[in-house]
């Protein structure tokens, strides 16, 4: 294992400390537990708060989307591990501006369990909560079981839309409805080429023979649905886009936002090679790309691979994507 770390057990806390030292004008911790980060101006009176959370190792996912026009706070777990219920609850209290709090996070069992417990604790404090789960990974379950799908990079779109709705003053029910609408119209699929090495164990997150790829892999190394010889960039992209188009039932005249996401060790140049083919395929289908995002939006430490997300757009979703937002890891002006 070759990583730029100190003691593995201190990795997450030292990373969070670095983020706080680097961005004191945008983020703060509301108490002594540095596993909870909130906007520097939290709580914002009269606005719905948004709390997310999950395991570390996915930056900028989760903690990187805390900021104006995005999430209000985050509960931070160990690498690939859920934050505690108490941490989720403390984040909830820290961002409550009097109009309730939306829980918006990926559909993983430990996270669901602990956020549900946090919601019970919040109820005792008269804080109203709602929950929307990111569940955009089309490879993890068939469409007739889409509510059981994993949440991966496409949750970025939900953060952006829900954050914009909260910023403009929408009610808790309205913000939750916006997030749910975006989740319902988002589809993602990823491909893995090489695993990450977990800092606490020194073990790979999955094993893949030399020269092979795993299509449909999850952001923790969960198995995909196809393993075989590495294909060309165009073949990989065509395979993924075909699945996303079918899942969203896109047709001539539809509009989308595209996210081509690196999983941690894939050069930006390769992501643009993939985007080139995404653009060509969708153009041939008569689908208009209104907005495009290329880079690292949800990683898995140093996993080699990429994912593609599509969000089917209407005028309302596009306006929410275009609303101003700012965090240390993302900005829309």
Catalytic residue numbers read 58, 220
In terms of Cβ atoms closer than 10 Å to its own Cβ (0-12, 13-18, 19+), residue 133 is buried
* Separation of alpha carbons 330 and 35, rounded Å: 20
Give the distance between the most distant pair of CA atoms in the chain: 55
Sheet of 304-312: strand order equals 226-229, 212-215, 186-194, 304-312, 255-262, 288-295
**Chain-centre distance for alpha carbon 175:** 17
Among 283, 332, 289, 331, CA closest to 311: 289
- Distance of alpha carbon 286 from alpha carbon 107, whole angstroms: 32
């Amino acid at each position: 294992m070759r990583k730029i770390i100190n003691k593995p057990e201190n990795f997450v806390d030292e990373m969070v400390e670095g983020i706080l030292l680097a961005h004191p004008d945008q983020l703060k911790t509301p108490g002594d537990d540095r596993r909870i980060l909130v906007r520097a101006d939290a709580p914002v009176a009269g606005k719905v708060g948004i709390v997310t959370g999950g395991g570390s190792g996915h930056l900028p996912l989760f903690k990187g989307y805390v900021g104006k026009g995005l999430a209000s706070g985050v509960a931070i777990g160990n690498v690939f591990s859920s934050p505690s219920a108490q941490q989720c609850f403390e984040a909830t209290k820290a961002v409550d501006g009097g109009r309730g709090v939306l829980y918006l996070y990926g559909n993983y069992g430990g996270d669901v369990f602990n956020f549900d417990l946090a919601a019970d604790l919040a109820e005792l404090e008269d804080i109203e909560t709602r929950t929307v789960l990111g569940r955009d990974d089309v490879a993890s379950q068939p469409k007739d079981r889409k509510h059981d799908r994993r949440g991966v990079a496409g949750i970025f779109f939900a953060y952006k839309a829900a954050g914009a709705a909260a910023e403009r003053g929408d009610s808790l029910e309205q913000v939750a409805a916006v997030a749910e609408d975006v989740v319902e119209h988002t589809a993602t699929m990823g491909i893995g080429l090489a695993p990450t090495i977990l800092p606490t164990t020194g073990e790979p997150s999955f094993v893949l023979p030399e020269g092979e790829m795993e299509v449909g892999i999850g952001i923790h190394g969960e198995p995909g649905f196809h393993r075989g010889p590495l294909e060309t960039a165009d073949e990989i992209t065509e395979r993924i886009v075909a699945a996303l188009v079918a899942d969203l039932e896109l047709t001539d005249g539809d509009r989308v936002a595209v996210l081509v996401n690196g999983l941690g060790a894939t050069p930006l140049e390769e992501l643009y090679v993939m985007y080139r083919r995404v653009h060509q395929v969708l153009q041939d289908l008569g689908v208009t790309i209104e907005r495009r995002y290329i880079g690292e939006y949800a990683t898995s430490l140093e996993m080699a691979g990429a994912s593609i997300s599509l969000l089917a757009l209407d005028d309302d979703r596009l306006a929410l994507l275009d609303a101003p937002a700012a965090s240390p890891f993302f900005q829309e002006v």
